[in-house]
Amino acid sequence: MFTAELVSVADTSRKIGVSPNGTTGSIVTAAVPLTLTAGQYYVRVKGSNPSVGITGSNSPSVLTVRARATATLTGTQSIYEGSPATLTLTFGGEAPWTATYADSLRSYTVTAASSPYALEVQPARATTYRLTGVSNNCGVGTAVSGSAVVTVQKVLGVEDPSLGPLVTIYPVPAGATLTVDIDVSLLRDPATLTLHDAGGRPVLNQTTRTRQTILDVNSQPAGTYLLRIQVGDRQLVRRILKQ
């Protein structure tokens, strides 16, 4: 009976027996175990009979075993309607990877050359994304896990038709600063300006009684924001793009 054996180049005391798929004449075929650790291995054939075991010599060629793909999906978060959400795919094994993920309606495929990989989605309603598969040049991956729930919130309020035409915001897109002109008297009720990021978190808040207010947004990262302007019982929300 013949069996194959793999011997680690890095540690020759580490030997892995491999059951043959079959023999044809002097040819022995065997499949590399899917659980085999990535690395370099010598290959040899062992023969045995009831009384004497025969161990062949290491082959002159070195077998290189590459790591199979693994992947994990994360990124549960809350966004405002119309804003994107960023999910994260973290890969193991060798690049490039092809991953598949799905929501309740359809399946999607992405290809990545580096890990972690940022995946942008923009659901219209609360959606659960699940990672369903991963592969690389070594074949189908051995471990796939993770899901992300993206909750979509309504915009912070309904625009007051009497206030909307009286507010001008510029420049759009914004750079280091954002100018807000409010063409109403603010002597009785001041204007409260609140800037929210795409996840709904307030990142800037300012109260003013002047018609023109300059907001310093230089420290905010590029992306989409919502600016809520409240004057007394009137309010409006404008979407802002920061470069």
Greater model confidence, 63 or 213? 213
Under the banding of pLDDT at 50, 70 and 90, the label for residue 130 is very high
Q: Encode pLDDT of 164-196 as tens digits.
A: 889 999 998 899 999 999 998 888 899 999 998
Under the banding of pLDDT at 50, 70 and 90, the label for residue 158 is low
pLDDT value of position 156: 53
Determine the CATH number of domain 70-153. 2.60.40.10
pLDDT value of position 180: 95
Give the separation between CA 185 and CA 192, rounded to whole angstroms: 13
Q: Does residue 226 surpass a pLDDT of 80?
A: yes
Greater model confidence, 201 or 49? 201
Angle made by CA atoms 84, 88, 91, in degrees to the nearest 5:
155
DSSP E strands in 141-232: the ranges are 143-145, 147-153, 167-170, 177-182, 191-196, 202-208, 212-216, 223-231
Q: Encode pLDDT of 21-63 as tens digits.
A: 666 666 777 777 767 777 888 887 776 665 555 555 667 778 8
Give the separation between CA 21 and CA 33, rounded to whole angstroms: 12
Determine the CATH number of domain 164-242. 2.60.40.3080
pLDDT value of position 148: 96
Distances (CA, A) of 122 to 83, 103, 151: 6, 12, 11
Q: Encode pLDDT of 147-156 as tens digits.
A: 999 988 776 5
Q: Does residue 200 surpass a pLDDT of 90?
A: no
Q: What is the mean pLDDT of residues 196-207?
A: 87
pLDDT value of position 124: 87
CA 217 to chain CA centroid, nearest Å: 27
The pTM for the full model equals 0.56
Mean pLDDT, the chain, integer: 85
Q: Encode pLDDT of 80-124 as tens digits.
A: 777 788 899 999 988 999 999 999 999 999 999 999 999 999 898
